[in-house]
Amino acid sequence: MTNLSIQIVTGDSRPIFKQIVDGIRMEVAKGNLAPGAKLPSVRGLAMQLMINANTVAKAYGELTAQGLLEARQGLGLFVTEPRQLLSEEEQKKRLDAAIGTFINEVAYLSYDSEDIIKAVQDALTNLGGETKNDSDEG
Amino acid sequence: MDYCIETEGLTKRFGKKMALKDFTLGIGRGGIHAIVGSNGAGKSTLFRILLGVTTPTRGTASLLGEDSRLLSPAVRGRVGYVNEEHTLPLWMTAQQITNQQRSFYPSWNQAIYDQVIGYFDVDPNQKVSGLSRGERAGLNLSMALAQAPDVLILDEPTLGLDVVARQSFLEALMFTETEANTTIIYCSHQMEEIERVADRLIIMEKGTLQNNSSPDDFVGRISYWIGDFANGLPAKNTLPGFLTARTIDGQHHILVADQDDTFGQVLKNNGAQTVTKAPVNLERAVNAFLTKNHNTPGSRV
């Protein structure tokens, strides 16, 4: 069983099920959850986060529909091998949305474009780097 | 659909006051249904009618398929009720009350009782008068769940409990393994709890039903807009779905229900120079609904 170190907060404008979806996606992106890793049971994660189990089930359902998790009969849920399920159009839409949010956040900071691009580049390199380290260990 | 609670055009009048007005609600079996409403919204009247303690002025109510005015002892035995006072006979010990309760309910499940009471530190030989509020709440919940009820009504069960007791209460409620598919009706004003526990959110206001959906879908109904109006806020009746508005630093912050992104254009047509849409959380969305017919100061700093 993999330890899942995601957090949820109440009072946020993101519903709890969405916070779980985002949290797990981030753990997978960072390589903390490697392909083939087993997720906690619905009840287990609900108890860890102290929320209704149906909320966890909904989040797991969403992640399964997105192709990030897969159910193995009688064994539970596992992280899938990375593959792209979204259409090119959908990917472009999500990228644009993410860039829009990002630009909103950084627009008022006193960095020039070059600094910002460098910081983004470094963050992306880190993402890739961590994934690589994990596969080396395995 | 198979409802565990169903009302049709339910109306209850107390003199001039309408406690319930043409109230039609269906609650399906299973899951946790949170009911939210200001004081006087009609929650207690609804429960009293459902349990057959009060008769409606008009309309019908049924519980587990039986007319609430003619409930059989068998159906009454399938309903659990826990109120905020956690009233129990003060002179009896926890053990005596449990023994008495067990004799009333043929389907009593001792394993569930033991599991739930394990969340709380209740000495069976302690008299109720010596138990803390949290311990009494725990004892009440343990007995209610051990009855393996088909419907469990919890009326502000965590009111006045400290953080530790509140957490134990929620954990015991959500994670006790029972075979029964108990439908839980959970009245609370604690939005944090509702966000954690509720499958469905029912909102009552002044005796009417305002919402019956998942909490997420409810939040999706509400949007928050910030606008600069050179000539002040337009008349409220010109804004569709208007709930509440406040003036902060000269800008108008407006909450509306059931409007899509074209509402920004509506604001512009009404004289807004700039319009921004802001995110909204459950608490703010619920509060906007509950305060929509109340007076608010027209302007704040």
User: Of B213, B237, B264, which residue sits at a domain end?
Assistant: B213
Q: Are residues B151 and B25 in the same domain?
A: yes
CATH number at residue B180: 3.40.50.300
Find all residues with CB under 8 Å of A27, minimum gap 6, and list them.
A4, A5, A6, A33
Contacts of A50 in chain B (CB under 8 A): 167, 170-171, 174, 196
Mutation for testing the B interface, residue in A54, A56, A62 having most B CBs under 10 Å:
A54
B195/A11 touch (CB, cutoff 8 Å), yes or no = yes
pLDDT tens sequence across B32-91: 999 999 888 899 899 999 999 999 999 999 999 999 999 999 999 899 998 888 888 999
- Give me the CATH number covering residue A38: 1.10.10.10
For residue A51, the chain B residue with the least C-alpha distance is B196
pLDDT of residue A136: 42
Positive or negative, the CA dihedral B128, B129, B130, B131 is: positive
Q: Shortest Cα distance from B88 to chain A (angstroms)?
A: 29
| Domain count of the fold of chain A | 2
Query: Is residue A83 within a helix (H) or strand (E), and if so which, with residue range?
Result: none
For residue A135, the model assigns a pLDDT of: 42
- For A56, A60, B174, the CA distances from A44, given in Å and listed in that order, are 9, 13, 12
Residue A129 has pLDDT above 80, yes or no: no
Cα B255 from Cα B225, distance rounded (Å): 6
pLDDT of residue B122: 92
- The residue among B32, B177, B216 with the most chain A CBs within 10 A of its CB, best to mutate, is B216
| Residue B273: CB atoms within 10 Å | 10
Instruction: Judge: A16–B199 Cβ closer than 8 Å, yes or no.
Output: no
pLDDT of residue B62: 96
Which residue of chain A comes nearest to B218, CA vs CA? Answer: A15
Q: Which of A79, A98, A121 is the last residue of a domain?
A: A79
The yes-or-no verdict on residue A71 having pLDDT over 70 is: yes
What chain A residue is nearest to B173 in terms of C-alpha separation?
A: A52
Query: Looking at the structure, do residues B203 and B109 belong to the same domain, yes or no?
Result: yes
CB B38 within 8 A of CB B290: yes
d(CA B197, CA B194): 5
Residue B294: per-residue pLDDT:
59
Confidence at residue B224, expressed as pLDDT on a 0 to 100 scale: 94
B182 and B207 inside one domain: yes
Answer yes or no: is pLDDT of A131 > 50.
no
Find residue B67's DSSP bridge partners.
B62
Question: What secondary structure does DSSP assign to B85-99, as a single string?
Answer: T----TTSBHHHHHH
Number of domains within chain B: 2
Residue B94 inside a domain? The answer is: yes
Positions in chain B short of pLDDT 50: 298-301
pLDDT for B91: 93
The pLDDT of residue B87: 83
pLDDT of residue B293: 65
Residue of A nearest to B167 (CA): A50
Q: Chain B residue with minimal CA distance to A9? A: B192
A137 or A17: whose pLDDT is higher? A17
Query: Sorting pLDDT into bands at 50, 70 and 90, what band is A1?
Result: low
Q: Can you give the residue range of the structural domain that contains A72?
A: 16-79
- The shortest CB-CB distance from B216 to any of A10, A11, A15 is to A15
Assess contact for A80 and A35: CB atoms under 8 A. Answer: yes
The answer to whether B219 contacts A15, with C-beta atoms less than 8 Å apart, is yes
Residues A20 and A72 in one domain: yes
- Whether residues B281 and A11 touch (CB distance < 8 A) is answered with yes
Q: Are residues B49 and B19 in the same domain?
A: yes
Of residues A62 and B121, more confidence is placed in A62
Q: How far apart are CA B61 and CA B209, in angstroms?
A: 14
Residues A72, A117, single domain; the answer is no
- Establish how many alpha carbons lie within 13 A of residue A63's alpha carbon, considering only the half-sphere containing its beta carbon: 29
For residue B231, the enclosing domain spans 222-290
Residue B11, beta-bridge partner list: B58
Is residue A65 located within the same domain as residue A120? no
Residues B33 and B141 in one domain: yes
CB atoms within 10 A of CB A61: 15
Tell if the CB–CB gap between B199 and A47 is shorter than 8 Å: no
Both B155 and B138 in a single domain? yes
| Chosen domain end from B213, B237, B252 | B213
B297: in domain? no
The CA R_g of chain B, rounded to the nearest whole Å, is 22
Residue A47 with chain B: CB contacts under 8 Å:
171, 175
pLDDT at A29: 85
3-state class of B122 per DSSP? Answer: coil
Contact (CB, 8 A) for B246 and B291: no
Final residue of a domain: which of A29, A57, A79?
A79
Arithmetic mean of pLDDT over chain A: 86
